[in-house]
């Protein structure tokens, strides 16, 4: 399709007539032989343009080029949902600058998360610890690989005894991998150590909770003796005596049922505090 623009006379230009657009479509018969004939179809359409509308379009285009400051900035509408009549409900308009800022924040958070995941490991897990190999011994033993920042030996909350595994954190990244590869399967006091490096995602935030405090063993036997020998009131002593008699009666019944004749001497009651 070819568009042809012919020359107009001065009378036609004064009358406001626009140049005629000639649409020419050329079709050729198949075969590709030199004797083939070509058919041409010419369609002429004539349009008249309004001078006032053309002036308005020129003014609008000039105002856009000059960058009119009075023009409102473009906004992007977001839709929250659809109401009962099927019409979408529009939310608050989102400016392009705000949308760009949110996109940048999301990208920054993704970069931080990626950096955390790719961060070199600093913590190792040490299992199959022998008896007597605790915080002080672990700190001195693993300091040969690098500076040890924290050590946490897992202990029983009731007795305080070691559970025979611990966590060691180094000050610099990358040392954990070296220590794990060197000490895994190491024979220590007839125990084969199980050592492996932990990724940052495997380290719980409370792993080293209380690691900066020195462990002190609780003398549970002393605590129990003080609880047993504490001063009691008359009511507390009477309740204690009643519970003892009930237990003693059940014990004597089981002895008699076994055919054993046995008499248990009753202990003297303790003087209560008035």
Query: DSSP string covering 10-77, please?
Result: HHHHHTTBPPPEEEEEEEE-TT--TT--EEEEEEEE--B--HHHHHHHHHHHHHHHHT-TTSPPP-B-
Say yes or no to pLDDT of 91 above 70. no
pTM comes to: 0.42
Residue 83 main-chain phi, psi, to 5 deg: -80, -170
pLDDT band at 101 (very low <50, low <70, confident <90, very high): confident
- CA distance linking residue 185 with residue 192, whole number of Å: 5
Alpha carbon of 135 to those of 147, 233, 267: distances in Å?
15, 45, 47
What's the pLDDT score for residue 7?
Answer: 52
136 HSE (CA, 13 A, CB side): 4
Q: Which of 71-80, 202-211, 264-273 has the highest mean pLDDT?
A: 202-211
What's the pLDDT score for residue 44?
Answer: 44
CA 27, 30, 32, 37 torsion-angle sign: negative
- CA distance linking residue 8 with residue 56, whole number of Å: 24
111-141 pLDDT tens trace: 766 665 556 788 999 999 999 999 999 999 9
- CA distance linking residue 108 with residue 112, whole number of Å: 6
Q: Which residues contact 246 (CB under 8 A, 6 or more apart)?
A: none
- On whether the CB atoms of residues 184 and 197 are closer than 8 A, the answer is no
What DSSP state is assigned to residue 266?
A: P
| Burial of 134 (C-beta count, 10 Å sphere; 0-12/13-18/19+) | middle
């Amino acid at each position: 399709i070819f568009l042809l623009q012919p020359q107009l006379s001065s009378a036609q230009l004064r009358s406001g007539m626009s140049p005629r657009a000639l649409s020419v479509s050329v079709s050729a018969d198949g075969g590709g032989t030199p004797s083939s004939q070509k058919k041409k179809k010419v369609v002429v359409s004539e349009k008249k343009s309004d001078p006032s509308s053309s002036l308005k379009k020129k003014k609008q285009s000039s105002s856009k080029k000059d960058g009119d400051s009075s023009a409102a900035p473009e906004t992007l509408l977001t839709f929250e949902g659809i109401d009962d009549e099927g019409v979408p409900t529009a939310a608050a308009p989102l400016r392009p600058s705000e949308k760009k800022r949110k996109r940048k924040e999301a990208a920054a958070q993704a970069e931080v998360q990626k950096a955390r995941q790719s961060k070199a490991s600093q913590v190792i897990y040490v299992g199959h610890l022998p008896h007597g190999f605790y915080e002080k011994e672990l700190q001195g033993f693993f300091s040969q690989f690098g500076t040890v920042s924290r050590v946490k030996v897992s202990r029983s909350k009731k007795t305080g005894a070691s559970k025979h595994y611990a966590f060691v954190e180094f000050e610099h990244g990358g040392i954990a991998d070296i220590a794990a590869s060197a000490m895994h399967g190491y024979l220590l006091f007839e125990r084969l150590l199980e050592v492996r490096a932990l990724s940052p995602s495997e380290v719980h935030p409370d792993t080293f909770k209380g690691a900066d405090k020195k462990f002190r063993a609780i003398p549970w036997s002393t605590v129990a003796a003080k609880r047993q020998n504490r001063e009691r009131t008359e009511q507390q002593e009477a309740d204690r005596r009643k519970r003892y008699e009930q237990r003693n009666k059940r014990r004597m019944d089981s002895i008699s049922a076994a055919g054993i004749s046995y008499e248990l001497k009753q202990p003297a009651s303790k003087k209560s505090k008035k």
